[in-house]
Amino acid sequence: MPIAEQLIRIQCPLCGNSTPVEIVQKGQFGLDCCVSICPNDGLVYLNPRWSKERYHYFYQHEYDHYYRSPVTHDPNSETNYASIKKIYQRLDLNHLSLQGESVLDVGAGMGYSLIWLKNNIPSFTRFSAIESSEYCLNHMKQHGGIEIIANDLDKDFESSAFDFIVMRHVLEHFMDPIRALKKIASLMQPDSLLYIAVPDMMHPKGDLQNYWFRTVHTFYFSEHTLLATALRAGLNPIVIGSENSELWGVFKLSSSSVPVEKDNNVMAKQLAVILNYHQ
């Protein structure tokens, strides 16, 4: 039986504010989706939202029904490898080569990114995944050659560091993105690369309430709020980009404390995008 959908309130992880401005109460599929914006730093996030337990159950048993399209079940479909090819292209265009032996995909889904890297990057010999979906876990286990180190990043697990870590459209799902990135940072070495991609809240697409805003997306980042989140986790950006409503960046461990540049207009800019948005 699913866990009760009791909504809980949180504070803004960037500033601790507990009185955000409410935007909508329902999102995609008519599910509870209380989107709010922090008046201090412009971070958009769900408040209130489901409990950690309710989300974990959803990802294990319900997420695939809502979001896993039939094509993902076909290992021969090139569509399944489009995301990792785009990541490789972005790294290559910015003269960032994939080196080392180990790769971790956080929110690995069916494992297609790891499969592509296994077949195309000879230096990689260790392929690891963190994934909640039981269906996807079974698929990766059947494929072979992929190490499942955890089904939840928040759980305790032991692992050596990785040379390359992928977090594609996963950071926006966490209950505490700063804590999540700190955990990722603990799995990195000085030369490790971390790739992050999230929906770009400054360039949304589709109907906001019936498509863009989703119960599973607990946070909605702009470039400013993504950088502020990463810096608080001890990560420095190498490159940041935005393309087709996707905000992405490559990060390394920070060797020193870098102050977050204050921008008092972030909230106004973000709210203007939301209020003036036309599909």
CATH code assigned at 170: 3.40.50.150
| Residue 25: pLDDT band with limits 50, 70, 90 | very high
Q: What's the mean pLDDT in 10-20?
A: 95
- 118 within 8 A of 145, measured Cβ to Cβ: yes
Instruction: Note whether residue 14 is domain-resident.
Output: no
Domain hosting residue 180, numbered range: 21-275
Residue linked to tokens 């995609």: 28
- pLDDT of amino acid 84: 96
Is the peptide bond prior to 48 cis by the omega test (within 30 degrees of 0)?
yes
Residue 4 lies in a domain: no
For the entire predicted model, the pTM comes to: 0.93
Which is more confident, 234 or 70? 234
Domain assignment of residue 11, yes or no: no
Contact 216, 173 (CB under 8 A): yes
Residue 210 in any domain: the answer is: yes
Does residue 9 form part of some domain?
A: no
pLDDT higher at 74 or 163: 163
Hey, what are 184's tokens? 């990722």
CA distance 245 to 39: 23
Q: What proportion of the chain, given as a percentage, has pLDDT over 70?
A: 92
